[in-house]
């Protein structure tokens, strides 16, 4: 078995529930996290509603007039993690508004570079966990996965998992239904969650062992100095 004990994972839940214990998305996230914990990965959970995340695309929005901004402290947790998993409920087919704010704040740090002149997100892996009782799991996962990839995260195969109930009002993931729990035991959700989790760990292990990505072709500082790594405008 591969040793994952030096890896760390951060699960950020962007549920709109005020209390973390009321979040249906958190249940599915914990299922994934438990696999990592069994493999020795250091796992931390963040319920984003417990924090004040100011609107904006700067490191610290209090410098631009916001009364409070917890992002600088949260950013240190993101920076330290090898794996980032973002969880979101579905609202009108889209990710939560809080998820969008998180993506914007992650984007604010995309100018931070590592010692190879690459995005500081290079060498990190990312995934998505989505729940709801309407259609939209793949759409929300696509939004999260693309955003993370664009910022510099590496996205593994099967990077997402989710569960939705029937269209219209109805139980959410984990709600009591006729003596059972909605979504619990759903084989497809179990399978995708398991594959996502292991692929995140495997990819994080490979990236860590390889020392991240080579500098050639993606060194922003070299590009600024005029190096073009073989690029010529096509005629």
Q: Is 65 exposed, middle or buried (0-12, 13-18, 19+ CB in 10 A)?
A: exposed
In the 8-state DSSP scheme, what is residue 171?
P
The CA distance from 203 to 209, in Å, is 10
Contact 122, 90 (CB under 8 A): no
Convert 159-195 to b/e letters by CB count within 10 Å (16 or more is b). Answer: bbbbbbbeeeeebbbbbeeeeeebbbeeeebbebbeb
**For 108-150, what is each residue's pLDDT tens digit?**
999 999 999 999 999 999 999 999 988 899 999 999 999 999 9
**pLDDT at residue 52, as a whole number:** 97
For the cut 80, the answer to whether the pLDDT of residue 154 exceeds it is yes
Q: What is the CA radius of gyration of the chain?
A: 19
**For 82-115, what is each residue's pLDDT tens digit?**
999 999 999 989 999 999 999 999 999 999 999 9
Structural fold of domain 8-224: Rossmann fold (3.40.50)
């Amino acid at each position: 078995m591969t040793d994952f004990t030096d890896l760390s994972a951060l699960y950020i839940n962007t549920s709109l529930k005020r209390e973390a214990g009321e979040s249906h998305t958190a249940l599915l996230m914990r299922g994934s996290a438990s696999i990592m914990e069994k493999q020795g990965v250091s796992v931390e959970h963040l319920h984003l509603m417990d924090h004040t995340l100011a609107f904006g695309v700067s490191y610290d929005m209090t410098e631009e007039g916001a009364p409070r901004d917890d992002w600088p402290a949260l950013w240190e947790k993101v920076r330290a993690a090898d794996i980032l998993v973002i969880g979101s409920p579905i609202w009108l087919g889209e990710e939560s508004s809080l998820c969008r704010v998180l993506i914007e704040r992650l984007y604010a740090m995309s100018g931070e570079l590592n010692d190879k002149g690459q995005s500081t997100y290079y060498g990190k892996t990312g995934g998505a966990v989505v729940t709801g009782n309407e259609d939209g799991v793949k759409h929300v996962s696509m939004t999260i996965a693309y955003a993370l990839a664009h910022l510099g995260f590496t996205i593994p195969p099967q990077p997402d998992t989710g569960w939705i109930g029937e269209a219209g009002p109805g139980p959410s993931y984990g709600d009591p239904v006729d003596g059972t729990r909605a979504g619990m035991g759903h084989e497809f959700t179990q399978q995708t969650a398991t594959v996502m989790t292991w692929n995140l760990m495997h990819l994080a292990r490979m990236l860590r062992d390889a020392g991240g990505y080579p500098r050639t072709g993606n060194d922003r500082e070299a590009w600024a100095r005029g190096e073009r790594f073989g690029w010529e405008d096509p005629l």
